[in-house]
Amino acid sequence: MKPPVPVVAPAVPSAPGHLRLQGSILAAVEKRALVWMAARMPARVNSDHLSALGLVSMAGVGASFWLAGTAPQVGLPLVVVFLFLNWFGDSLDGTLARVRNRLRPRYGFYVDHVIDVAGTACMMAGLAASGLMNPHLAIVVLAAWLAVSAESFLATHVRGVFRMSFLWFGPTELRIVIAAGALRLLSSGTVTVLGVGPYRLFDIGGVVASAGLAVAFVVNAVRNGVVLYREETLEK
């Protein structure tokens, strides 16, 4: 008697068919602006060009933070410029593909988030090397961001839902906060909290960011775990 042949479920390419949830404050305005720009983009510019711009720009953000450690009047304005270029490339690449009906769902999802991981690592490395943030805290922020990203990718695969924001706060809002912090450093690099300090501005920002990311990770992990538990328990 032959042993039973194991049945292997085919891999499900969940990313192409996932539901994108974007509930940030600027989402509606940003979407209209991106569609308007995509409709007017020269034909010779494609989504890959914009994705490459997003990656190079984040490397530029990291290098500019590093430069700001010794030449703040040069490096900090460059941080703002490169953050804008990153927003332009990273936010517009997918919109351009949708407007032109040239979607590559799996490729786009994969490349976009590989670029996000590499770009965020570049930015945090630049901050750690600049002296504007405690290097150990920069590592904590990066680790927290990677944990939230990993949970989000897993949720996209198993639930088909990709959340792009948390509590009305998304990537665009984060870029604005970082840019505002960089401009604030042009006048002063320290702040006081409840009369205590001074502390480095980006150290305070790093603590707040780490705490927020930790909360986002726990809330999303519990929510997705409960939903999956209930779904698969009812199926039995």
Q: Which residues of the chain register pLDDT less than 50?
A: 1-16
39-76: pLDDT as tens digits: 999 999 999 999 999 999 999 999 999 999 999 999 99
Pairing of strands 190-193, 196-200: antiparallel
Geometric angle at alpha carbon 220, from 215 and 224, rounded to 5° = 155
Is residue 148 a contact partner of residue 212, using CB atoms and an 8 Å limit? Answer: no
pLDDT of residue 28: 85
Whether domain 23-235 has CATH 1.20.120.1760:
yes
**DSSP characters for the chain?**
-PPPPPP-PPP--TTTTPEEE---TTHHHHHHHHHHHHHTS-TT--HHHHHHHHHHHHHHHHHHHHHHTT-HHHHHHHHHHHHHHHHHHHHHHHHHHHHTT---HHHHHHHHHHHHHHHHHHHHHHHHHHTSS-HHHHHHHHHHHHHHHHHHHHHHHHHSEEE--BTTB-HHHHHHHHHHHHHHTTT-SEEEETTEEEEEHHHHHHHHHHHHHHHHHHHHHHHHHHHHHHHHHHH-
What is the residue whose two structure tokens read 């690592």?
Answer: 121
pLDDT of residue 50: 96
Backbone angles phi, psi at 219, to 5 degrees: -60, -50
Nearest to 27 by CA among 163, 214, 190, 118: 163
pLDDT of residue 8: 32
pLDDT of residue 20: 63
Q: How far is Cα 156 from Cα 72, in angstroms, rounded to an integer?
A: 40
Q: How far is Cα 96 from Cα 76, in angstroms, rounded to an integer?
A: 30
pLDDT of residue 235: 61
What crossing angle do the helices spanning 201-235 and 171-184 adopt, rounded to 10°? 170
pLDDT of residue 236: 60
Is residue 189 a contact partner of residue 68, using CB atoms and an 8 Å limit? Answer: no
